[in-house]
């Protein structure tokens, strides 16, 4: 008898337009949690932020050059990621990776990251880059634990840090990923 599939496992799949509202809501929730952790007691305009997130994800979902993935458990979207290749096919940029705060630390972000790595390596990208806010220590720790390192290039502004991950064959494996086949 085959073992039953793990019903608690996160499934990562291509996002569809039907996922837009759930993705915008979890992104807004993640941004609100980060804002309230950094600025306790200050207001956060959730309706305006939700509209901004909705527009950004709608734009991403309609672009053919921006794959959007979502992490789902029991039919509920718990996280999303979007990325695109740069003007050179050597570099891919992780534009967004967000997880519903109620599911932080449960493997949802790692599952999305692993799916992105697989897609990037399959497409032949040699490196990945992303921008993270300087003060977002939680996200910086998450990416550092997955092998991302500060890039030598200047960040887009003084509030961000650009991180880089080598994807080329022979690059050190990403922590937590299965060893490469020999």
CA–CA distance, 31 with 101 (Å, rounded to integer) = 9
CA–CA distance, 101 with 109 (Å, rounded to integer) = 11
The predicted-structure confidence for 107-125, as pLDDT tens digits, reads as follows: 999 999 999 999 999 999 9
**pTM more than 0.95:** no
CB 125 within 8 A of CB 90: yes
User: What are the backbone dihedrals phi and psi of residue 69, each rounded to the nearest 5 degrees, phi first?
Assistant: -110, 150
CA–CA distance, 176 with 182 (Å, rounded to integer) = 18
pLDDT-derived band at 133 (thresholds 50, 70, 90) equals: confident
CA–CA distance, 112 with 72 (Å, rounded to integer) = 10
The predicted-structure confidence for 3-34, as pLDDT tens digits, reads as follows: 445 557 899 999 999 999 999 999 999 988 88
The predicted-structure confidence for 156-176, as pLDDT tens digits, reads as follows: 667 888 999 999 765 554 544
Residue environment code for 55-67, b if the CB has 16+ CB neighbours within 10 A, otherwise e: ebbeebbeeeebb
Q: What is residue 177's predicted lDDT score, i.e. its pLDDT?
A: 44
């Amino acid at each position: 008898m085959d073992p039953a599939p793990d019903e608690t496992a996160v499934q990562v799949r291509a996002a569809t337009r039907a996922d837009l509202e759930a993705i915008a809501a979890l992104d807004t929730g993640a941004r609100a949690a980060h804002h309230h952790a950094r600025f306790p007691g200050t207001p956060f305009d959730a309706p305006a932020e939700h509209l901004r997130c909705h527009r950004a994800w709608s734009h991403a979902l309609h672009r053919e050059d921006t794959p959007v993935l979502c992490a789902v458990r029991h039919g509920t979207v718990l996280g999303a990621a979007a990325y695109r290749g740069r003007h050179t096919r050597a570099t891919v940029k992780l534009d967004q990776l967000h997880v519903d705060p109620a599911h932080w630390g449960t493997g949802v972000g790692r599952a999305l990251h692993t799916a992105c790595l697989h897609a990037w390596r399959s497409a032949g990208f040699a490196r990945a880059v992303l921008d993270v806010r300087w003060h977002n220590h939680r996200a910086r720790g998450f990416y550092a634990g997955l092998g991302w390192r500060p890039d030598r290039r200047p960040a887009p502004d003084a509030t961000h840090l650009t991180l880089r991950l080598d994807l080329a064959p022979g690059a050190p494996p990403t922590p937590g990923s299965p060893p490469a086949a020999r």
